A and B are shown apart, each in its own frame.
Chain A
Amino acid sequence: MAIDDRFSDKGLAGNALHEIHGGEARIAGAATGFLAGLLTRNQRRADETERPILWVQGPSSAHETGRLHGPGLYGFGADPGRIILVTARSVGETLWVLEEGFSCAGLQAVVGDLRGDPRALDLTATRRLVLRARKAGRPGFLLRTSAAEAASAARSRWTITPARSLPLGRYTTGPGRAVWKIDLVKNRDGPIGAWIVEWNHHDRSFTQISADSLALASQTADRPDRASTPQNSGGETLVPFRRAS
């Protein structure tokens, strides 16, 4: 599958930090949905079903981008009962909660939901998180909204923007399933790329709609594997996690 092939181990590193950028705060639903999809796919693995996810909302995140909504997650195919939502009062506190989360053996993943470009979230802070993630053998995610793409130690960086949805059965006048343009703008495990995918909340899987702007991405000369990428638009699963070692 196209996206999975961008990773040398056919999936996201399970013991690393990944950054997901959602653009402006007022379109943060798309990035939130993409991350919820990733976590849900990971949850389907037998050994992860029971483990909760620690989701930390930084200061002003709930106010500016809205609070993570349980019934919405449920309809989306994610399990709200698995989520422990922490509201932190400062960025420093957010980072502390994330580090504490990595030190707990019983979690599936740790998510930091932060708005803007806080000074406390610098290269050193992300490095600390990367080290914690590696030691814990669990993935960590930074969900960033209204943030510039600054240097960070994250293993991959994605930019998610909403895209027009497709008609769904007899629902032709209203929005259909969630569709996003996902840009893999940084990838330490392989080449980058961009796709348009749809989230099927019934099957709980990603479906690739088109390899949008793939041609643009493959112009990079030092990515020889790019050309051989099959343009698969079937209902295969995308981006599962690599098993954490």
Chain B
Amino acid sequence: MRQRRKTAAEKPSFRSDAHPEAKARAPLAVYAKMRNALRLIAVDAEAERRGLTSGLPLADARARVPDLDAVEEEEKADRALLETMADWCDRYTPLVAGDPPDGLFLDISGCAHLFGGEATLLADLVGRLRRQGLAVRAAIAGTPAAAGALARFGDQSIVMPGAERAAIVSLPVAALRVPAETIDGLAQMGLRRIADILNRPRAPLAARFGLDLIARLDAVAGAGSETLSPRLPLPALVAERRFAEGILDKDAVLSVIRSLTATLAETLTLRGEGARVLEAALFRVDGAVTRVRVGTGRPLRDPDLAARLFSERLKGTETEIDGGFGFDLIRLSVLETASDAPRQIDMSGNLEADESVHALIDRLGARVGLDNVLRYRSVDSHVPEIEATMVPAALMEEADLGWPEADQGADLTPLARPIRFFTPPEPIETLAEVPEGPPIRFRWRKVSYDVRLAEGPERIAPPWWQGDPAPVRDYFRVEDGQGRRFWLFREGLYETRGGEASPAGPPRWFMQGLFP
């Protein structure tokens, strides 16, 4: 970890370019409510030239510059913009961290040479962002704090390792990014620049302003160590391809993904691994980034298979991916791997059929979502909702589902569970019933049924060890005069032991499932 780079302070002056109503460059300022008054919080170059500064009350500013274009601050939009910029910055390094409200850190250790060195990288980044209409300041230094201070308050773009101290001495103390009271306190003592406090005895400073000031001072001077927390999980493997001109065609995108997978497959093969989760990041020319993720049940290395999964995924998304003016960078990341040792060949030839089912599950999962391709697992519980739990087919080997070899027990037992199951159960209206017994008539979905046969109750209580229990349920298997068979339950009891009415009110009836 050597160089950290910080792009900072996209001061809202960029809005004079981006603002749709900005004709003939009217001075632009952004205001927000601060200390019970509307004050300017950012001004563009033109407004600055006409004597406006941030902190000025809006009314004063309007009086001084009548043609001022004042815009209210939109925190949400600013945050969204910063997120978008962070996405875009992913093209330089996978390790991008946010520095709210207006900064970003990029850890470019080991990445700079890919762009022809630090200076070229910096120029490229600043140039591209400026062309997008953003006012950007950036610096490269050995620690995030130093880079941040230099980008916001300095003019030096690149600081060699070890030279941080010399580079920051002339900056104002505000560059330390300590609370405003601390800055005011230092100013009262005549300490305005970092140089003023850098070589002072530390104990009095710490006693007066707290240890935080000392920590910030060390960090900015390059002495402390800070770690960045990346916005996105760091991938295990990455391959990417850049294009001089944006590509738009979906088939072209897929063929790039296929060839990137082929590149990654070599490394995966050497490691004896396969990809479980793949993410394709499509960087649009105008800065928007689209991420598409596919998961697989079996570790995957086959480029054709990967391209097919992405193809299904792209078809499955409701909104077609908007290519705009085309993508100029496509990156494929392996987010999760699993060991994929060569399997022994099964002489019976079942392996091939097995493989084709696994491939089918992955393909279906890519299109309809892995959560919608499910299998039944045997669950040791008597609570109907838990019994009905299903697991994603991609995550389960068939042998682990746990259904015992069918043993149907005694010949003369009826079916205990329905073949179709309603979650949540549907309320029904009982028209006649005997207390504690099955209903004699009930109405469900606006049709009434006369119960001819009924068996029950099967009392199912929620597990008592799970704290506050849900009401007890009494299940009945009933058949009406025409042979329609249902699984009903009554929730709650008729009365408590003391003879008082149940606090939950009278019991309610529900339809839980349909028997064959």
With A85-B390, A106-B353 known to touch, is A67 a contact of B416 (CB < 8 Å)? no
Among A66-92, those with CB < 8 Å from B are 66-77, 79-81, 83-89
In the assembly, what is the distance between CA of A161 and CA of B403, in Å?
30
In the assembly, what is the distance between CA of A85 and CA of B410, in Å?
29
In the assembly, what is the distance between CA of A243 and CA of B478, in Å?
39
The contact size tier of chain A is 35 or more
Among A32, A169, A170, the residue within 8 A (CB) of B419 is A32
A95 to chain B, nearest CB (A): 12
Is B245 engaged at the interface, CB distance under 8 Å to the other chain? Answer: no
Among B388, B393, B481, B515, the residue within 8 A (CB) of A70 is B388
A97 & B398 in contact (Cβ 8 Å cutoff): no
| Neighbouring A residues of B350 by C-beta, 8 Å | 50
A72 to chain B, nearest CB (A): 4
B483 & A165 in contact (Cβ 8 Å cutoff): yes
| Neighbouring A residues of B360 by C-beta, 8 Å | 54, 100-101, 104, 106-107
A68 & B420 in contact (Cβ 8 Å cutoff): yes
B453 & A173 in contact (Cβ 8 Å cutoff): yes
Is B293 engaged at the interface, CB distance under 8 Å to the other chain? Answer: no
Is A190 engaged at the interface, CB distance under 8 Å to the other chain? Answer: no
Is A175 engaged at the interface, CB distance under 8 Å to the other chain? Answer: yes
A164 & B415 in contact (Cβ 8 Å cutoff): no
Among B390-418, those with CB < 8 Å from A are 390, 393, 398, 401-403, 406, 408-418
B352 & A105 in contact (Cβ 8 Å cutoff): yes
B364 & A100 in contact (Cβ 8 Å cutoff): yes
Is B359 engaged at the interface, CB distance under 8 Å to the other chain? Answer: yes
The contact size tier of chain B is 35 or more
In the assembly, what is the distance between CA of A68 and CA of B406, in Å?
18
| Neighbouring A residues of B416 by C-beta, 8 Å | 75
A99 to chain B, nearest CB (A): 11
| Neighbouring B residues of A129 by C-beta, 8 Å | none
With A29-B418, A70-B388 known to touch, is A81 a contact of B376 (CB < 8 Å)? yes
In the assembly, what is the distance between CA of A202 and CA of B455, in Å?
20
Among B445, B484, B513, the residue within 8 A (CB) of A69 is B513
B415 & A201 in contact (Cβ 8 Å cutoff): yes
Among A35-87, those with CB < 8 Å from B are 36, 50-52, 54, 65-77, 79-81, 83-87
| Neighbouring A residues of B447 by C-beta, 8 Å | 26
Among B479-498, those with CB < 8 Å from A are 479, 481-485
A43 to chain B, nearest CB (A): 10
With A72-B421, A93-B368, A100-B364 known to touch, is A26 a contact of B444 (CB < 8 Å)? yes
Nearest chain A residue, comparing its CB with the CB of B358:
A106
Among B459-516, those with CB < 8 Å from A are 477-479, 481-485, 513-516
| Neighbouring A residues of B352 by C-beta, 8 Å | 105-106
In the assembly, what is the distance between CA of A169 and CA of B356, in Å?
45
With A80-B376, A85-B374, A173-B453 known to touch, is A100 a contact of B414 (CB < 8 Å)? no
| Neighbouring A residues of B356 by C-beta, 8 Å | 104-106
With A26-B514, A70-B387, A104-B356 known to touch, is A164 a contact of B418 (CB < 8 Å)? no
> Which one of A12-20, A176-184, A214-222 contacts B?
A176-184
Secondary structure dominating the interface of B: mixed
A174 & B414 in contact (Cβ 8 Å cutoff): yes
Is B177 engaged at the interface, CB distance under 8 Å to the other chain? Answer: no
A46 to chain B, nearest CB (A): 12
With A83-B376, A175-B479, A176-B414 known to touch, is A165 a contact of B453 (CB < 8 Å)? yes
B202 to chain A, nearest CB (A): 64
B514 & A27 in contact (Cβ 8 Å cutoff): yes
Is A30 engaged at the interface, CB distance under 8 Å to the other chain? Answer: yes
With A32-B420, A162-B484, A165-B453 known to touch, is A107 a contact of B357 (CB < 8 Å)? yes
B420 & A86 in contact (Cβ 8 Å cutoff): no
B457 to chain A, nearest CB (A): 11
A36 & B516 in contact (Cβ 8 Å cutoff): yes
With A75-B415, A93-B368 known to touch, is A69 a contact of B388 (CB < 8 Å)? yes
Among B368, B445, B478, the residue within 8 A (CB) of A89 is B368
A168 & B353 in contact (Cβ 8 Å cutoff): no
Is A206 engaged at the interface, CB distance under 8 Å to the other chain? Answer: no
Greatest chain A CB density within 10 A among B420, B477, B479 is at B420
Among A65, A76, A170, the residue within 8 A (CB) of B516 is A76
In the assembly, what is the distance between CA of A84 and CA of B390, in Å?
10
B485 & A67 in contact (Cβ 8 Å cutoff): no
| Neighbouring A residues of B408 by C-beta, 8 Å | 75, 77, 201-202, 204
A220 to chain B, nearest CB (A): 27
B373 & A84 in contact (Cβ 8 Å cutoff): yes
Is B456 engaged at the interface, CB distance under 8 Å to the other chain? Answer: yes
B369 to chain A, nearest CB (A): 9
With A175-B485, A179-B483 known to touch, is A66 a contact of B514 (CB < 8 Å)? yes
A83 & B375 in contact (Cβ 8 Å cutoff): yes
Is A163 engaged at the interface, CB distance under 8 Å to the other chain? Answer: yes
Going nearest first, the 5 A-B pairs with the smallest beta carbon separation are A33-B516, A174-B455, A169-B412, A29-B514, A70-B376
22 residue pairs of the A-B complex, CB under 8 angstroms, read A29-B419, A67-B422, A69-B388, A69-B417, A70-B376, A71-B388, A73-B376, A74-B403, A84-B357, A86-B364, A86-B368, A104-B359, A106-B360, A162-B484, A162-B485, A164-B479, A171-B455, A174-B454, A174-B455, A174-B479, A175-B479, A201-B415
Binding site for A on B (CB under 8 A): 350, 352-357, 359-361, 363-364, 367-368, 372-378, 387-388, 390, 393, 398, 401-403, 406, 408-423, 444-445, 447, 452-456, 477-479, 481-485, 513-516
